[in-house]
Amino acid sequence: MPRDEFSEMRAFLEVARARSFTRAAAKLGVTRSALSHTIRAMEERLGVRLLSRTTRDVAPTAAGERLVESIEPHFESIAAGISAISALRGKPSGQVRIVCPDDAVDLVFRPRLPAFLRDYPDINVELIVDNGFTNIVERQFDAGVRLGEAIARDMVAVRIGPDVRYSVVGSPDYFARRAAPNSPQDLTRHDCINLRLPTSGALYAWEFRKNGREFSVRVDGQLTLNNIAPALDAALDGIGLAYAPKDIVQPYVESDQLQEVLADWCPTFQGYHLYYPSRRNPSPAFGTFVAAFRYQSR
């Protein structure tokens, strides 16, 4: 196959997978206009339209889908062959791409990443923070991170952290103005910092659990955010109450910067897990990453 045709096919496959010229161009290290020109030239050479383009989306046409099904296994075989050869070096190498929620960075990865990167200098780790339910296959991630109960049954799940207990916290300044809630229902009369869910667009309903009863409370407040870290900052600033993992808020509670309320009602969830599709030939880099971050209970 001529080199130009191989480059065209790789370019087309990346756009079809990412469903975005911008994301595909960034991965290939070319400009968006250059990539668009390559695809247009390929379509003209083949005499068929491969991609349907709108202002919001890029998707393969029927002919494009057929071409993806034909060439994708060959590119995957090439990638697997390169990974197999790199394994002969004695040390794993390559890139590992993970998508995870923002609090998992602090709870799971930050404590262990420095040692991992020192031990495996030829492995590059890309952590993308996204609180939505990302399609890891379509976005070409090696794995995603979710709490145990949120993982689809058809995915391989590897536990990478302990159970996660949530807390409701506010600043001393806030409680100087407002009486502490005695039950979750009291939260409807408080200023709470809402969390917008990126996938559904809905506001997250705070979850509670006591004496075998589970329920949610839809809270209200002047501020809505889409990440836990700025919500915690807002609580520290006295704006309102925040709902966040206890391990993250605990240092602020111990230093009296935040006060915990409703502790008897706050639930504990299954810890964070890596999840990924079943695969025959995981790369040595990814296999090493999974082994290193697998949670070992004490």
- pLDDT (tens digit per residue) in 234-255: 999 999 999 999 999 999 999 9
Nearest Cα to Cα of residue 58 among 14, 9, 7, 6: 14
Token pair 């889409």 in the structure block, residue: 226
CATH number 1.20.120.10 given to 3-75: no
Q: Would you say 113 and 84 are in contact if contact means Cβ atoms under 8 Å apart?
A: no
Domain 91-154+271-293 architecture: 3-Layer(aba) Sandwich (3.40)
Q: What is the pLDDT of residues 139-195, one digit of tens each?
A: 889 999 999 888 888 888 999 999 999 999 999 999 999 999 999 999 999 999 999
Dump the DSSP string for 30-59: S-HHHHHHHHHHHHHHHTS--EEE-SS-EE
Q: Could you tell me the residue ranges of all domains in the chain?
A: 3-75, 91-154+271-293, 164-269
The CATH architecture of the domain made up of 164-269 is 3-Layer(aba) Sandwich (3.40)
Q: What's the confidence (pLDDT) of residue 108? A: 94
The mean per-residue pLDDT over the stretch 203-226 comes to 95
Question: Is there a shared CATH topology between the 91-154+271-293 domain and the 164-269 domain?
Answer: yes
